[in-house]
């Protein structure tokens, strides 16, 4: 199932993509056909989001610049959530072709798309922690702490990938039922966020 969905070896795929993106190459050609394009797009949104979050922590710039960054973070977060749901829809569609509607009522609290999202974020942490361990402006104690954290992150990411594989196996075997969950984020919707629709009513 992982191979059919092109989400096998996500750790390696994300590592290659993240390295490529940090070298100022925003194309996806390096992984064309090797990984699920929705999963790769999700990883790209997380990559952009990561660096906007870094900018938001700066204290040496004007508040107006931080406000611009915060709006970019909101937009990217919405796109990220959309990609998670899109990936879940694709996985459910593929499962529906493979197995009949399972009888079980057992479900999982986390969807496959959410796990892929976490693997993507963990891959970013691994890249940046490895980068930190190679800095020439830190002492050996700092470097050893970073290397220890790096090993923990790598293990946690491996566990996530195993959990994803086990979950898909459960779906295939009928041990669990996959359900789609819509997040219905309200803060970006001008018809649902009271700060937005009340402001609009006031201006009219």
CB-based contacts of 7, cutoff 8 Å, min separation 6:
35, 36, 39, 112, 116, 164
Helix axis angle for 10-22 and 112-133, nearest 10°, is: 50
* pTM of the shown model: 0.88
Q: Is 96 helix (H, G, I), strand (E, B) or coil?
A: helix
**Mean pLDDT across 127-140:** 96
Q: What was the pLDDT predicted at 196?
A: 63
Mark 77-112 as b/e (b = at least 16 C-beta within 10 Å): bbbbbebbbebbebbbeebeeeeeebeeeeebeebb
Residue 164: the pLDDT is: 96
Q: What is the model's pLDDT at position 67?
A: 87
CA 80 – CA 114 distance, rounded (Å): 10
Angle at CA of residue 68, ends 199 and 19, nearest 5°: 140
- Going by pLDDT thresholds of 50, 70 and 90, the confidence category of residue 100 is confident
**pLDDT of 142-196, one tens digit each?**
999 999 999 999 999 999 999 999 999 999 988 999 988 887 776 677 776 776 6
What pLDDT is stored for residue 76 in this prediction? 95
pLDDT of residue 190: 73
More confident residue, 136 or 187: 136
Range scoring the smallest mean pLDDT among 86-90, 113-117, 192-196 = 192-196
Q: pLDDT tens, 30-84?
A: 676 778 999 999 999 999 999 999 888 888 888 888 889 999 999 999 999 999 9
Q: What is residue 177's predicted lDDT score, i.e. its pLDDT?
A: 92
Residue 96: pLDDT above 90? no
Give which of 84, 127, 110 is closest to 170, Cα–Cα: 110
**pLDDT score of 192:** 67
Contact predicate 115/186, CB 8 Å: no
């Amino acid at each position: 199932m992982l191979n059919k969905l092109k989400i096998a070896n996500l750790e390696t795929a994300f590592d290659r993509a993240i390295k490529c993106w940090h070298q100022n190459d925003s194309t996806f050609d390096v992984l064309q056909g090797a990984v699920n394009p929705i999963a790769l797009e999700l990883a790209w949104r997380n990559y952009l989001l990561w660096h906007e979050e870094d900018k938001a922590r700066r204290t040496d710039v004007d508040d107006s610049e931080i406000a611009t960054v915060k709006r970019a973070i909101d937009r990217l977060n919405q796109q990220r959530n959309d990609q998670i749901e899109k990936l879940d829809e694709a996985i459910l569609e593929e499962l529906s072709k493979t197995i009949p509607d399972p009888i079980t009522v057992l479900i999982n609290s986390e969807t496959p798309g959410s796990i892929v999202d976490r693997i993507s974020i963990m891959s970013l942490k691994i890249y940046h922690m490895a980068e930190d361990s190679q800095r020439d402006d830190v002492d050996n104690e700092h470097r050893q702490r970073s290397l220890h954290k790096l090993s923990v992150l790598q293990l946690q990411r491996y566990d996530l990938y195993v959990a994803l594989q086990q979950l898909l196996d459960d779906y295939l075997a009928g041990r669990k039922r996959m359900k789609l969950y819509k997040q219905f984020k309200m803060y970006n919707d001008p018809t649902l966020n009271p700060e937005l629709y009340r402001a609009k009513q006031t201006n009219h």
